[in-house]
Amino acid sequence: MYDIIKISNGLRVVLEEIDYVNSVSVGLWVKNGSRNENKDNSGISHFIEHMFFKGTEKRNAKEIAQSIEDVGGQINAFTAKEATCYYVKILDTHLDLALDVISDMIFNSKFDEEEIEKEKGVVIEEINMNEDSPEDVLIELHSKAIWGDDPIALPILGNENTVDSFTKEILLDYISSRYIPENCVLSIAGKFNKNDILKLVEDYFGDWKFKGKNLINYSAPKILTNHLFKEKQIEQLHISLGLTGIELGSDDLYPLLFLNNILGGGASSILFQKIREELGRCYSIYSYLSALNNTGVVSIYTGLNPKYSTEVVALIKEELEKFTKIDISNDRIIKGKEQLKGSYILGLESTSSRMFNNGKSVLFLDRINEPEVILKKIDTINKDRIYSVMDRTFKKGILNSAYVGEDVDLNLMKNIIENTIYPFNNKPSTLI
* 49 part of the active site: yes
Partner residues linked to 15 by β-bridges: 3, 188
- 97 vs 357: CA distance, rounded Å: 23
Residue 427's pLDDT is 46
Q: How far is CA 76 from the centre of its chain?
A: 16
Among the listed residues 49, 115, 140, 319, the single catalytic one is: 49
pLDDT, mean of residues 183-187: 97
Q: What is the largest CA-CA distance in the chain?
A: 70
Q: What is the percent of the chain with per-residue pLDDT over 90, rounded to a whole number? A: 91
Helix-helix angle 168-178:113-131, to 10 degrees: 80
**pLDDT tens per residue, range 192-234:** 998 899 999 999 999 998 766 666 778 899 999 999 999 999 9
Q: pLDDT band at 246, cuts 50/70/90?
A: very high
pLDDT score of 423 more than 60 = no
Q: b/e for 330-362, b at 16 or more Cβ within 10 A?
A: eeebeebbebbeeebeeebebbbebbbbbbbbb
Q: Which fold has domain 227-418?
A: Cytochrome Bc1 Complex; Chain A, domain 1 (3.30.830)
Determine the residue type at 355: M
Same fold, 2-205 and 227-418: yes
CA distance to 56, 71, 272, 423, per residue, from 63 (Å): 10, 12, 47, 65
Q: What is the percent of the chain with per-residue pLDDT over 70, rounded to a whole number? A: 96
Which are the contacts of 103, defined by CB distance < 8 A and separation ≥ 6?
204, 205
**pLDDT tens per residue, range 290-320:** 999 999 999 999 999 999 999 999 999 999 9
Nearest to residue 171, comparing CAs of 30, 60, 47?
47
Q: What is the pTM of this model?
A: 0.93
Do 430 and 322 form a contact (C-beta atoms < 8 A)? no
Residue 219's pLDDT is 85
Which are the contacts of 126, defined by CB distance < 8 A and separation ≥ 6?
157
Dihedral sign for Cα 42, 9, 77, 109, please: positive
Residue 214's pLDDT is 66
- 63 vs 409: CA distance, rounded Å: 53
Partner residues linked to 190 by β-bridges: 17, 24
- 23 vs 350: CA distance, rounded Å: 9
Of the listed ranges 215-229, 356-370, 376-390, 416-430, the one predicted with least confidence: 416-430
Residue 215's pLDDT is 66
Residue 49's pLDDT is 98
Do 101 and 75 form a contact (C-beta atoms < 8 A)? yes
Specify the higher pLDDT residue, 115 or 347. 115
Q: How do the residues of the chain divide into helix, strand and coil, expressed in percent and rounded to 5?
A: 50, 20, 35
Residue 209's pLDDT is 83
Q: pLDDT band at 425, cuts 50/70/90?
A: very low
Residue 210's pLDDT is 72
Of 3.30.830.10, 3.30.465.10, 3.40.440.10, 2.30.30.60, the CATH number of 2-205 is: 3.30.830.10
CA distance to 245, 267, 285, 413, 420, per residue, from 271 (Å): 18, 9, 7, 18, 19
Where does 40-127 show beta strands of DSSP type E?
A: 74-79, 84-91
- 307 vs 303: CA distance, rounded Å: 12
Do 54 and 119 form a contact (C-beta atoms < 8 A)? yes
- 224 vs 398: CA distance, rounded Å: 11
Question: What is the residue-wise DSSP string for 207-247?
Answer: T---SS--------PPPP--EEEEE---SSEEEEEEEE---
CA distance to 70, 140, 421, per residue, from 299 (Å): 42, 13, 21
In the chain, where the domains are located: 2-205, 227-418
pLDDT score of 335 more than 60 = yes
What is the residue-averaged pLDDT of the chain? Answer: 94
Residue 431's pLDDT is 54
